[in-house]
């Protein structure tokens, strides 16, 4: 059964259609990449899946249940975790405290469970040596890692990554990809919106292409990048 499914989801801002009857399904443990030109509606799609933006029509199913009208917190507690394109950690809390907030808020876990879980995530995301540093003092790669760690602290079954590799150097990007790959290998389903294609395709098994809110292709990365419609629209190549 699909862990996440969108069925004919549509959304407009006035005359601008950011989702035009979008449908796709994500299997448990699958890693799906989403690409598309600037303004195609990728972040809006994440906002609708996470509950930060209401759909105009269509349905969002999570674990088979209809969550279309559920608020963001309910979806987060149910297991839909996300990162934001621009990381905004609590600047005056330490890295560890930032994680504690994400892990403890609204959850019924004990203090011991929450602290152990956060310490473990700091190790997995390469942030353990930064645990006591203030969130506001981190460099870009570490802020991205913290964004990822905060999403993981909510214990997601589906992790939505919004352009997490953007702005990193080649080496930093490679390090982050390794971390994301290990999260995927541990069984967390991932939907990753990214412009850095080589990073994306080194992790995901399928790519979905959005253009003006419409899905213009979904399939294996090699097949998608060869598709005429995708090359014309996304890469600007005349074929
Ligand atoms: N709340 C809003 N009100 C009006 N227009 C919006 C709103 N949010 C987004 N838009 C517009 O909707 C379009 C899609 O935006 P969105 O951020 O979803 O695109 P994107 O594919 O994520 O782009 P990028 O790759 O640049 O991040 C853009 O033209 C954007 O300006």
Domains in the chain (CATH in brackets) are 2-88+156-233 (3.40.50.300)
Per-residue pLDDT of 170-200, as tens digits, reads: 999 999 999 999 999 999 999 999 999 999 9
For a ligand 1 pocket test, name from 42, 44, 52 the mutation site with the most ligand atoms within 8 angstroms of its C-beta.
Answer: 44
* pLDDT of 227: 87
Sheet holding 158-162, edge to edge: 80-82, 158-162, 189-193, 31-35, 206-211, 214-219
- Residue 16 Cα: closest atom of ligand 1: 12
Q: Is the pLDDT of residue 239 over 60?
A: no
Instruction: Quote the CA–CA distance of 130 and 143 in Å, as a whole number.
Output: 11
Please tell me the distance between residue 43's alpha carbon and the centre of ligand 1 in angstroms: 7
Q: How far is CA 66 from CA 40, 54, 229, in A?
A: 25, 14, 32
Please tell me the distance between residue 17's alpha carbon and the centre of ligand 1 in angstroms: 10
Please tell me the distance between residue 13's alpha carbon and the centre of ligand 1 in angstroms: 9
Q: Does residue 219 sit in helix, strand or coil?
A: strand
- Say what the ipTM of the complex is: 0.95
- Residue 14 Cα: closest atom of ligand 1: 4
pTM value?
0.94
Element (H, E) at 12: strand 2-13
Per-residue pLDDT of 57-98, as tens digits, reads: 999 999 999 999 999 999 999 999 999 999 999 999 999 999
- Residue 210 Cα: closest atom of ligand 1: 21
Instruction: Quote the CA–CA distance of 59 and 179 in Å, as a whole number.
Output: 32
Per-residue pLDDT of 188-236, as tens digits, reads: 999 999 999 999 999 999 999 999 999 999 999 999 988 888 888 766 7
* Pocket around ligand 1 at a 6 A CB cut-off: 13, 16, 18, 36, 38-44
For a ligand 1 pocket test, name from 14, 15, 17, 43 the mutation site with the most ligand atoms within 8 angstroms of its C-beta.
Answer: 43
Query: Whose alpha carbon is nearest atom 9 of ligand 1?
Result: 44
Per-residue pLDDT of 96-114, as tens digits, reads: 999 999 999 878 788 889 9
Please tell me the distance between residue 213's alpha carbon and the centre of ligand 1 in angstroms: 10
* pLDDT of 123: 95
* pLDDT of 193: 97
Q: Which of 193, 234, 150 is nearest to 47 (CA)?
A: 193
């Amino acid at each position: 059964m699909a862990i996440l499914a969108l069925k004919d989801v549509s959304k407009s801002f006035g005359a601008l259609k950011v989702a035009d009857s979008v449908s796709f399904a994500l299997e448990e443990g699958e890693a799906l990449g989403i690409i598309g030109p600037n303004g195609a509606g990728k972040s809006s799609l994440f906002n609708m899946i996470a509950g930060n933006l209401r759909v105009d029509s269509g349905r969002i199913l999570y674990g088979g249940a209809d969550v279309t009208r559920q608020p963001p917190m309910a979806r987060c507690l149910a297991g839909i975790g996300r990162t934001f394109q621009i990381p905004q950690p609590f600047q005056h809390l330490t890295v560890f405290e930032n994680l504690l907030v994400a892990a403890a808020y609204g959850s019924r876990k004990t203090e011991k469970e929450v602290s152990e879980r956060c310490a473990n995530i700091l190790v997995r995301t390469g942030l353990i040596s930064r645990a006591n540093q203030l969130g506001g003092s981190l460099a870009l790669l570490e802020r991205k890692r913290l964004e990822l760690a905060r999403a993981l602290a909510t214990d997601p079954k589906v992790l939505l990554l919004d352009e997490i590799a953007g702005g990193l150097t080649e080496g930093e990007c490679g390090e982050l990809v390794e971390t994301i790959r290990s999260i995927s290998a541990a069984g967390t389903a991932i939907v990753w919106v990214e412009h850095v294609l080589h990073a994306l395709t080194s992790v995901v098994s399928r790519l979905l292409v959005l253009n003006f809110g419409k899905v213009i292709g979904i399939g294996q990365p090699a097949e998608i990048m060869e598709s005429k419609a995708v090359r014309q629209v996304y890469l600007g190549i005349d074929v």
